[in-house]
Structure 1
Amino acid sequence: MGYFMLCERYHVSFKMILKDQNLNVFLGCEVMGLSTIINMLYYLRPRWYIATYVLWWINVTLSLLAGWGITFIMIGYNKFSMKEANATILLPCVTMTVVSSTGSLISQSMMNRPGFQLSQDIITFLLWSNAVILATVLICFYFNKLLLHGLPAKEVIYTCFIPIGILGQGGWAIQLNYKNLGNLIVNGSGLKLLNLDVGFSEEYLQTISATLNILGICVALFLAAFGVCLTALSFLAVVYCGRPPVWIRTMWASTFPLGTMALSFNEMYLTTKLTGFQVISTIYSVMLILITTYCIIGTVLFDVPYKDICNIIRSSKKE
């Protein structure tokens, strides 16, 4: 609803947004917002798993439209120079990692339907793989831009945090995916569904599950290592650009990436019980809370059009 209200206020159509290279990438945020709603329904109303399952499939469709469609528009329609490019080009493909993690999360509620859970685990892995490979290409392009043309302008310097998002979210998604597959093999006859059951013992199945968990953590650590590196580089970029304005909207770009890193490290802690992962997750969580609180305050103080609202109220009273 808020999206359509903004379109009405600024007199723009969906077609105009789709063609604008500075705006179409943000359509991916709509998909990620729906994923957040699905996650909330999963935690608050576990019995609504059928509703969350249907919403997730809708979200899968939207994520593919964003990840493939917007990327094609950027390649085939939008013409921008290397100097103009920034990390927002990653937003469409980030949606697929977010939808993948959501699918892996709600897959846990499908344990009484092994066939559905297996198909969901396969789809989430395909989404994750697609997103990570596509993001790798775009991150290489983005770093090429940084090496040739330097850091973004101060007004958009916080977009440097965006690449961290796909690394953290991807790490969380792959851990959930492998963990679900391991549980399915142990408790849901997953190998029978794959026609790979040759009478393995319970201990052997537990070994397969543990191996999948270790593989998930290894892949997540691989992504998280680069994510920590980019976190340091992003903070250094902000410091290097000097004192930022009191408030700029692009500060919101740093919230989601920090949260994904917290989720990824927290999942590592839940699996391994290693305190180091919990400490790192806590650090990212504290940074997330601080920057999000500041962004909310900044939005309320500087972005809400109080004058326009007052004028509308006054005009309505006169009528």
Structure 2
Amino acid sequence: MGTGMASILLYFIPFQAKWLYCLSIVLFVLNAIFFCIISALTVLRYCLFPKLWRPTLCDPMVAPFLGTIPIAFATLIEMWVFICVPLWGEWASTVAFAFWVVDAVGAVLLTMYLSFLLMSKSSIRSLEMVTAVQLLPIASTIIASGVGAEVAEVLPSRERATATTLASFVLWGMSMPLAAIVLAIYYQRLAVHKLPAREVIVSCFLPVGPLGFGSYSIMYLGKVTHAIFANNPDPSIAISGKCIQAVTLMLGLIIWGFGLTWLVFALASIYSAALFPFNMGWWGFTFPLGVYAASTILIGNELPSVFFSVLGTVLSAIVILLWVVVSLGTVRGIWKETLFVSPSPIPK
């Protein structure tokens, strides 16, 4: 997720240069390799230890991390749309559409199943046990809606583009209000039981993710809707496209502002925790802040606004620097064999 977001930001930065484009391609390829290797290892893990699958699916504290799979896949689809479709043409857009369908179906199934799992299983019985990790499966559907808008923009068939855009609006409606509900519960948990332990304090950044991409998704959907309706011979439909774009931009700005509130909370939480140990949770710095940076850049493009464009560029630079720091820490942890811990015991 973090590597994919870094590649997207390098491509998306308003103040472009050739070396940034080349670096974004390098990270895209690197991310594809990472995704294939980790997916293969995950499949191998559950093939060698099939009894792990059920405990993983039924544990409300572990199962939400499955939402990272469609999110990571979505970053690959985005870069495929940005890099491969312009180079390879119509067949590449068809492949992007097929990939998006798989990603969207997987994201919706995880969102519905894991959200119901939180209600039906007895292992979480107090407010104190609710964590920001519960947002991960919901975020996967929000991200699928934004990626759907990007895919619709490059589809040659107007009918398919319209259907993809409508489906993406539905995906956004299924997930964004649900994320707001979970955020309200999580805020109550923080107010009553205070901040998480120092070891997992980075999780305070997770609420920025669905808000950042929720803002990005709805604005991109408005942009694509306007593009689809603009050439319609019926002037009323063309005007409705402009109205939808204006409404979605306003809604995106409001969600961006709400995300800013949670970003301040996250920064204050990190500051209050002082020094805390490096672990895999540090990757939680990269993706939430990355999608917030992407949303900021899109606002700068749509208004247009130099302020948002510069702010988005600054945030993107911070994300890329964080990616470098966390990547080096990960390599060091792998080398010293101190980083990875099995999330669930192997049943006997």
Tell whether the structures are fold-level matches, with TM greater than 0.5.
Answer: yes
Classify the secondary structure of the residue corresponding to 2:275.
coil
Contact 1:20 1:78 in 2 (8 A): no
In the alignment, structure 2 segments of 5+ residues that lack a partner are 1-39, 339-348
Contact 2:68 2:136 in 1 (8 A): yes
Q: Does 1:229 align with 2:257?
A: no
Shift of 1:305: 6.0
State the match for 1:155 in structure 2. Answer: 199
Change (3 A) 1:6 1:275: farther
Distance 1:256 1:123 in 2: 24
State the match for 1:315 in structure 2. Answer: none
Classify the secondary structure of the residue corresponding to 2:164.
helix
Distance 1:224 1:299 in 2: 30
Shift of 1:225: 0.5
With normalisation by structure 1, the TM-score equals 0.86
Aligned counterpart for 2:306 among listed residues 234, 253, 275: 275
Contact 2:215 2:253 in 1 (8 A): yes
Shift of 1:211: 3.1
Higher deviation after alignment, 207-216 or 276-285: 207-216
Aligned counterpart for 1:3 among listed residues 24, 37, 42: 42
Classify the secondary structure of the residue corresponding to 1:244.
coil
Higher deviation after alignment, 274-283 or 25-34: 274-283
> Counterpart amino acid of 1:82?
L
Aligned counterpart for 2:96 among listed residues 45, 52, 56: 52
Distance 2:318 2:51 in 1: 35
State the match for 1:28 in structure 2. Answer: 67
Distance 1:89 1:304 in 2: 31
Q: Superposed, which structure 2 residues align to 1:1-319 within 5 Å?
A: 1-7=40-46, 13-46=52-85, 47=89, 48-80=92-124, 81-110=126-155, 112-187=156-231, 189=232, 197=234, 200=235, 205=238, 207-245=239-277, 247-304=278-335
Larger radius of gyration: 1
Higher deviation after alignment, 8-17 or 38-47: 8-17
Higher deviation after alignment, 2-11 or 60-69: 2-11
Distance 1:55 1:78 in 2: 35
Distance 1:212 1:44 in 2: 28
Distance 1:68 1:45 in 2: 32
Contact 2:222 2:249 in 1 (8 A): no
Give the ranges of 4+ consecutive aligned residues of structure 1 lying more than 4 Å apart after TM superposition.
5-12, 304-307
Distance 2:268 2:333 in 1: 26
> Counterpart amino acid of 1:276?
F
Contact 1:21 1:78 in 2 (8 A): no
Distance 1:271 1:240 in 2: 36
State the match for 2:7 in structure 1. Answer: none
Contact 1:35 1:99 in 2 (8 A): yes
Contact 2:60 2:114 in 1 (8 A): no
Contact 1:268 1:277 in 2 (8 A): yes
Classify the secondary structure of the residue corresponding to 1:21.
coil
Distance 1:306 1:164 in 2: 31
Per-residue CA deviations over 1:63-117 (Å, capped at 9, x if unaligned) read 111110111112112421211221001111000111011100010112x312111
> Counterpart amino acid of 1:25?
P
With normalisation by structure 2, the TM-score equals 0.79
Shift of 1:285: 0.8
Per-residue CA deviations over 1:3-58 (Å, capped at 9, x if unaligned) read 23455788862222111222100000001111112112212321211111111111
Give aligned-pair identity as a percent. 22
Distance 2:52 2:76 in 1: 25
Distance 2:324 2:117 in 1: 35
Classify the secondary structure of the residue corresponding to 1:152.
coil
Distance 1:19 1:26 in 2: 12
Distance 1:83 1:176 in 2: 36
> Counterpart amino acid of 2:107?
S
Distance 1:8 1:292 in 2: 32
> Counterpart amino acid of 1:114?
R
> Counterpart amino acid of 2:218?
I
State the match for 2:25 in structure 1. Answer: none
